[in-house]
Structure 1
């Protein structure tokens, strides 16, 4: 095995930052002065709120609550929605690299991939949520849209169900089954200087630093800096990754005001990334998953992404009962891809691959203003909220695709060829060297809500309305001729919580989702679509949900029953992308978390889903299951402190998913799968410094399986699960 080499510049930068922070800490540590200063405790606050982060629940893997859109941060027992907030402790202990790694723990979420690219996407309650629609500190569209490194966030918050009133419409039309919000890192009360390094399968290595300090006589100012470099292969043959990241979080607070600022830059590069597998129209069954280490990517393929982003958020208390807030952010990103996905045409795994080059540039701006107020009228307490939000995306794009000049290969025995030139018959859109404006999306809304507290706070009734305007304009390739729409709608919400006992809450909600109409893809299984880039009108989804939550102090959980209807889109027999019928997702969710016994933590649950196509107008699809959505899925994890061996812990996690279908007619059945992951860590002290050693094996049995199916309307493309992957790391706190 060859040695692992790190570029000198990123490693030197991380080490220099760490040493500088140590020096700064030594210079600014206050000396004891009797009677001069009292101890001040500052609650780290990602969203500039007075309350700070919610406390971790017993066991430390999840928090006691999280952000519920414009309603702010709420305790899990007081909100009429199903939520989970995963903590930095879980993220670090599992060596999670991205949002997808964290959400493997969630029984209601399954990780998928974008259409024709390597974007991390997620099925929540069977509905797709693209990483475009992930919020950063409550604002959409600020984070990298393909891959989000775990170094960028303190917590991962999952809100299950539709949320038009709570969060507004999402940029790309997701958010029907739920939303994901990432909280940035903040400086805590204790100084932090942490340097970490590790290696994993494929001779991949990384080094990172995490530095935090608070300043001033009252510790009112905080700074948190993160830097990371990751480079090397993966467990997949000849696949390579390179990641560079830098982020800075600042916060300041006084008695009545709080401000936070976040800036970040991420560059993510994939070389010979293994592509999705599309099933050809002639197939009558799904081929078996190939060896999980095989790479059917062509040697000249790549996917690069570069993002720079920032946001500012502030709150001001006009008086003890009235608070106003404001937030704004922006992102600029550049993506370049040279791809060749494989379309399998025979049961033996043979297929075609066509060169596809793509360039994309995004410019995003977003802002939010709001006010919260509390008042009491008789025996009823009111928590009022009002907000205005704005979002704008300008996407430039260019592509070239040689669909009629395919290369013959196989997903079982791949054939590599030299980079082919484009032929005269290739499909083209704009200039790859100078991408032109393709899409402009503007979302604006005004929302008002009131939470009424009744019966000595045992009953909570939340009512709200959001008036939203969606403006979406598409521009034809080359000509730039615009077409689009501007539509408005009022989205209502009603939620109710009744605290049957201090440990038990019953809840119910009715809420709608409002989504930008889907955009017709360039191609599907059978070839080009005849209205590529066409945008459908916005659609409304309607959700009804009831549930019960339990908080036993050391162990907690919830049961939820839900039903959501969503208009559907598909490619018709004339190869046009149109809206017709609806998808109805009904299901049951069980989640659990906490510390079952001293030193034994549990996390996971079970989801049962009945996702059917309704009123499709075709007997071949009516009543059939939605592409890529299983009937059953779940995950369960345990984390155990070994008795008598201080500092040593083991963890195990099982992730399982039932079978699903890769086509609307349900003729292509994709087998279910289960995976076992194991980890260990040891915390000790060395020369007065805290040292944490971690080791992990994902997919212990090295199973071959199709990890996800689809992620775009009427496309049942397959993603092969990763091989057995080893990771070891060491972190030192100075």
Structure 2
């Protein structure tokens, strides 16, 4: 968002960081997705993995509605991918105060990418209680995700130009590669109204996760797609606890209304890990014409960190913070000013994979202020401006770079602060809405220097304009669209050849359109479509490796009908209708970035039966 990477590690679950699975988050677990654009340290605290300078995603668990729910969904995807899911809920007790919702899914089979397959199992239970003076909720989730021959990213090493994107269905993963992740997680949350004007709230969440991977990332050194792979295995265990406690209230002083919040947050993570990589044993291949190898044993050149079967403690993170904010309303709520500040303490410690000796640590605190102003001349229009910061632990150094070990691999840099200013205007008449924002965010820059050390120098300055349109232009049409023009430049790097260059992976222009249209001629039939455009990007800091932009089109339909007296919803979608071959995303730490290929044309269908 806004040119910054937002990772699954930094996605919130019902307001808490770190509770969701890291690598893949199944959509069946959630009722609603909230997207908060811009920095948010004062609002949410520091993100665990150092992201969210451009925005934060909060996923809300499913809750029992006022009406009973009984749904079974059967799905099929191109490549022989089958799926079955159940979603049931009901309310009980006096005034239906107690709610129960359970959903589960199982998915298995090949994808539209050659030889790629996955197996997904999940289950979630959501409970809630609606009292006159207090509200309680609890959620328990389990997710087991197993991937086989997942198509890896492509590193660029020593090429003079970016190779053309391969056919979207092409796969250069080795047949022995896999990635398994299993997580158990849960939260509890409660609110209590002391008076009509004062409410206390609190939440606690915990996650236990395990991961195992055997991978072979391709480094391309020729525009004809030729390159090399080496085996990289790793295992990881996480124990994460996250909590918040607070008071919110309101009071009136003459013509001035106050809405205040006092909050405290805690985040604690223990990470156990082990790895083994063998870049001394390079195997030749080509992503246009891949060469498959049988399982490759580690050679005498392999480097081991810890025991893959019994990973030990490698990183600890402890975040503690408290925040105070007040929204002051004047002129019958036409003018609102929010002033807030958060004091954040970040403590991280890194340990040697083998000896468990401390290799790096810091214990730092910082104040992150925020101020925002909104003026509403009418009910439909509002004008706003804000200043806010994003505080994060330092990014972690990768273990390898261009087939060489990074000197401080696995260690975290010092914490850093991103600063954001924004001005905007919004319009919403209840049917159609739009917003226009001008923003600038300065984030400290992390990269791998000529000594193969991960370090921080200078900053990445992202400034641009963002336009969104949403709503229902007519009764049978729903629209959600946006376009962003972004200038993301490297500043004060200490290298005059880099200053002013574009940031790796950030396009100047990015836009999307999502449209739904209810066809009047066929009752219950809705046509859907998505158009996504991403402009050209660079995959290196020197801006010599340019990656072409792309535009994709997805088309689908949804049909609600009755079968044997039961409600049935049939859905179908064709992704990448035009068969575009493209590099979907670009990222990187140093002079040579990495590429991820886009998805091929694929058909997905499902039927949901409501009993």
TM-score bracket, normalised by the shorter chain, equals over 0.9
Partner of 1:62: none
Partner of 2:480: 603
Residues 1:160 and 2:37 are matched in the alignment: yes
- Deviation for aligned residue 1:526: 5.3
- Deviation for aligned residue 1:714: 5.7
- Deviation for aligned residue 1:712: 4.9
Secondary structure of the 2:504 match is coil
Residues 1:301 and 2:177 are matched in the alignment: yes
| Structure 1 Cα separation of the partners of residues 325 and 525 of structure 2 | 48
Question: Does structure 2 conserve the Cα–Cα contact (< 8 Å) formed by 1:128 and 1:711?
Answer: no
Secondary structure of the 2:6 match is strand
In angstroms, what is the RMSD of aligned CA positions?
0.9
Q: Give the aligned length.
A: 610
- Deviation for aligned residue 1:569: 1.2
Partner of 1:551: 428
Question: Does structure 1 conserve the Cα–Cα contact (< 8 Å) formed by 2:444 and 2:458?
Answer: yes
Secondary structure of the 2:238 match is strand
2:515 to 638, 642, 645: 638
Question: Does structure 2 conserve the Cα–Cα contact (< 8 Å) formed by 1:551 and 1:557?
Answer: yes
1:241 to 99, 102, 118: 118
Partner of 1:142: 19
Distance 1:168 1:713, change over 3 A: farther
Matches within 5 A, 1:412-423: 412-423=288-299
- Deviation for aligned residue 1:570: 1.2
Residues 1:452 and 2:328 are matched in the alignment: yes
- Deviation for aligned residue 1:169: 0.2
- Deviation for aligned residue 1:355: 0.6
Partner of 1:575: 452
| Structure 1 Cα separation of the partners of residues 96 and 478 of structure 2 | 34
Secondary structure of the 2:262 match is strand
Distance 1:720 1:154, change over 3 A: same
Residues 1:184 and 2:61 are matched in the alignment: yes
Partner of 1:254: 131
Partner of 2:143: 266
- Deviation for aligned residue 1:534: 2.4
Cα deviation, 1:409-453, whole Å, max 9, x if unaligned, reads 000000001111111111110011110101000001000000001
Secondary structure of the 2:339 match is strand
Question: Does structure 2 conserve the Cα–Cα contact (< 8 Å) formed by 1:652 and 1:678?
Answer: yes
| Structure 2 Cα separation of the partners of residues 707 and 525 of structure 1 | 22
Cα deviation, 1:572-603, whole Å, max 9, x if unaligned, reads 11111111011100010001111111201111
| Structure 1 Cα separation of the partners of residues 532 and 424 of structure 2 | 24
- Deviation for aligned residue 1:527: 2.2
Matches within 5 A, 1:196-235: 196-235=73-112
Distance 1:312 1:713, change over 3 A: farther
- Deviation for aligned residue 1:257: 0.4
1:408 to 284, 289, 300: 284
| Structure 2 Cα separation of the partners of residues 652 and 418 of structure 1 | 42
| Structure 2 Cα separation of the partners of residues 713 and 379 of structure 1 | 55
Residues 1:132 and 2:40 are matched in the alignment: no
- Deviation for aligned residue 1:373: 1.1
| Structure 2 Cα separation of the partners of residues 562 and 358 of structure 1 | 39
| Structure 1 Cα separation of the partners of residues 455 and 518 of structure 2 | 55
Residues 1:680 and 2:557 are matched in the alignment: yes
Q: Structure 1 or 2: larger strand share?
A: 2
Cα deviation, 1:205-238, whole Å, max 9, x if unaligned, reads 1000000100013100000100000000000000
1:390 to 252, 266, 288: 266
Partner of 1:335: 211
Cα deviation, 1:72-119, whole Å, max 9, x if unaligned, reads xxxxxxxxxxxxxxxxxxxxxxxxxxxxxxxxxxxxxxxxxxxxxxxx
Distance 1:526 1:616, change over 3 A: farther
| Structure 2 Cα separation of the partners of residues 714 and 388 of structure 1 | 40
Question: Does structure 1 conserve the Cα–Cα contact (< 8 Å) formed by 2:114 and 2:169?
Answer: yes
| Structure 2 Cα separation of the partners of residues 450 and 692 of structure 1 | 46
Question: Does structure 2 conserve the Cα–Cα contact (< 8 Å) formed by 1:236 and 1:293?
Answer: yes
Secondary structure of the 1:232 match is strand
| Structure 2 Cα separation of the partners of residues 526 and 407 of structure 1 | 12
Question: Does structure 2 conserve the Cα–Cα contact (< 8 Å) formed by 1:365 and 1:391?
Answer: yes
Cα deviation, 1:59-84, whole Å, max 9, x if unaligned, reads xxxxxxxxxxxxxxxxxxxxxxxxxx
Partner of 2:539: 662
2:161 to 274, 285, 291: 285
Question: Does structure 1 conserve the Cα–Cα contact (< 8 Å) formed by 2:156 and 2:592?
Answer: no
2:498 to 621, 630, 637: 621
| Structure 2 Cα separation of the partners of residues 189 and 638 of structure 1 | 29
| Structure 2 Cα separation of the partners of residues 497 and 621 of structure 1 | 38
Partner of 1:704: 581
Distance 1:193 1:610, change over 3 A: same
- Deviation for aligned residue 1:637: 1.6
Cα deviation, 1:261-305, whole Å, max 9, x if unaligned, reads 00000000101110000001x201000011111110000000000
Question: Does structure 2 conserve the Cα–Cα contact (< 8 Å) formed by 1:524 and 1:715?
Answer: no
| Structure 2 Cα separation of the partners of residues 467 and 598 of structure 1 | 48
Residues 1:720 and 2:597 are matched in the alignment: yes
Question: Does structure 1 conserve the Cα–Cα contact (< 8 Å) formed by 2:542 and 2:591?
Answer: no
| Structure 2 Cα separation of the partners of residues 441 and 714 of structure 1 | 29
Partner of 1:480: 356
| Structure 2 Cα separation of the partners of residues 422 and 620 of structure 1 | 40
Question: Does structure 1 conserve the Cα–Cα contact (< 8 Å) formed by 2:540 and 2:590?
Answer: no
- Deviation for aligned residue 1:702: 1.3
Distance 1:293 1:136, change over 3 A: same
| Structure 2 Cα separation of the partners of residues 368 and 378 of structure 1 | 32
- Deviation for aligned residue 1:715: 5.6
Residues 1:314 and 2:190 are matched in the alignment: yes
The farther-off stretch of 217-226 and 519-528 is: 519-528
Question: Does structure 2 conserve the Cα–Cα contact (< 8 Å) formed by 1:629 and 1:660?
Answer: yes
Residues 1:648 and 2:516 are matched in the alignment: no
Residues 1:730 and 2:607 are matched in the alignment: yes
- Deviation for aligned residue 1:165: 0.1
Distance 1:284 1:526, change over 3 A: farther
- Deviation for aligned residue 1:525: 2.7
Segments of structure 1 that go 5 or more residues without pairing to the other structure are 1-123
Matches within 5 A, 1:453-472: 453-472=329-348
